[in-house]
Structure 1
Amino acid sequence: MSVLVRIGRKKAILCGGKWSSADPRVEDQLQNSLDMWVQNTGGPPLGHRDPDQFAADAIRSDLGYEVLIASKPKGRTAQTAYFSKRQMALPF
C-alpha cells in the first residue's frame, strides 16, 4: 500500500498509479483526476522516491480528500507505473 485517503466517509488507496475503492464512483473520480493530472503535468518527477505520495498530494486540493496513511513503496513498481501514463494518447 502506498497512500490511503478519505473522502467524507469513504476511503481509497493509491498504489502503483492506480486507485482502488469500495465505491466505484469515488474510484472512477480519483482515477480520472489522476490521469488528467499526469497528462497535463507529466506526472511525478522521474526517479522520485515516492511517486504515489507526490501524485496524491498534487491532486488533493482539487478533490478535497485527507491523506490518512502514506507508506513508501518497495521496489520499482510504483516508479515504473507512471511511465505508461506519461505517453500521449494519439487519436488514430
Structure 2
Amino acid sequence: MTADDSLSRLDDDYPAHTMGRAAELLGTTPGFLRALGEARLITPLRSEGGHRRYSRYQLRIAARARELVDHGTPIEAACPIIILEDQLEEA
C-alpha cells in the first residue's frame, strides 16, 4: 500500500474515529452520540469487535446537533432539522 492509498482511505466517509475519540473531539459524551444513533441521525459503522466508529462526515453532523441542543433545541427536533439542512445542501 502506498502513501496515496493510505490517505485516500481518510476521506469524509471513512470510519476513523472511535466513540471515545469522537466524543472528545466534539466535547460531548458517548451517551450523546448514542442518542443521535437512536434518533437515526447518524449510524456509525461497527468494527469487527462491535465498537462504534465514526467518519468525519458523521462528526460534522453530530457537531451541528450539539450546537442546536446547546442552544435549547430538543434532540428530537434537532435531528429532523439537520436532515433537512443536509438534503438542502445536497440539492
How high is the TM-score relative to the length of structure 1?
0.31
Q: Comparing both structures, which one devotes a greater share of its residues to strand?
A: 1
Q: Comparing both structures, which one devotes a greater share of its residues to helix?
A: 2
Query: RCO higher in 1 or 2 (8 Å CA, sep ≥ 6)?
Result: 1
Based on CA coordinates, which of the two structures has the bigger radius of gyration?
Answer: 2
How high is the TM-score relative to the length of structure 2?
0.31
